[in-house]
Amino acid sequence: MTGGSVDVALLAYGGPETPAQVAPFLERLMGRVPDAATVAAVKERYALIGGASPLPGITVRQARALQGRLTRDLPGPVRVRPGFLYSEPSVTDCVRALDAAQVVALPMSPFSSRLTSGRYRAGLAAAEDRAAGGAGRDIPLLEGWHASRGFVGAVSRRIAEALDGSDAREWAVLFTAHSVPAETVAAGDPYVEQLRQTAAKLTRRIAAGGSRFGFQSRGRSGGEWTEPEADAVARDLAGEGWKKILVVPVGFVSENVETLYDLDVVLRGHIEDLGMEYRRTRPPNDSPQFIEALAAVVTAHLAERPATPADRAENLPADG
């Protein structure tokens, strides 16, 4: 592609789109062949949410919408392609397809962590090494947009949709995100602090009766994980007399098994057993507000980068 062109690798974890893909997905995720009991248990979870993960399809829609938006915002050709860490198309396949003058990677996690952006960065490096025989392009990973106006606004819109005109003061808001090993936070991982920054910005935008933060979907590897857990926070809220809980999975930008099963099945059952009403916001998915937020991340990066030789050549007069 010519100078001035832009390719965007839209990176996500991925997920199984059929029951047959569950075992290969788990093998990639776990780094080993899963035992039969684990595969059966995970298949049962997916069966309860429709049989497959909606995340890959949502990411494809996000990529198409973002490409359309950037095509309007940028002067040159634009391509946006999805790449997944644990399913197809892989990050390597995605990187091989991208050859524009400027290539950037946009992770579908606004929050930086060894377990999110760290894995994306490693995946990009490995893909580039394979594609270029060890001489990769060092594709920039566009992080740090967890507290951007666009992202916060997109989540705020989802909160308003979930409240649907009801009195926000009657609701306790429970922000949730995927738990991480406590040792990563102790080692300086910014994930938890960034989550709390985003939750604080959202709290100032809504007039809910109160807000708390809880972690969900802790791993099975043992050890200490970030606390408090979401179900423990729900018990505390019930003890304080709350009758309605609005769950906001701020740590996720797309529906997946952790919103549809861990929250809508497991946490919902726990909350309703406590005698409270459960309601949950949808993630941003491919909403226009979220796509605008993603486009702003890309265009801001491109505006700040130094001009490349290809850019300068493209901008020469035609008779130069």
Q: Look at residue 207 in the predicted model and tell me its pLDDT.
A: 79
The CATH number corresponding to 6-17+53-144+287-314 among 3.40.50.261, 3.40.50.1400, 3.10.290.10, 3.10.129.10 equals 3.40.50.1400
Q: Look at residue 306 in the predicted model and tell me its pLDDT.
A: 54
Domain boundaries defined on the chain: 6-17+53-144+287-314, 149-280
Q: What is the mean pLDDT of each run of 10 residues along the chain (320 residues)?
A: 79 97 96 96 97 98 98 96 97 92 96 92 86 67 95 97 94 96 93 96 88 90 89 97 97 98 98 98 98 98 68 37
pTM score, whole prediction: 0.91
149-280 maps to which CATH number?
A: 3.40.50.1400
Q: Calculate the CA dihedral of residues 121, 124, 126, 127 and round it to 10 degrees.
A: 170
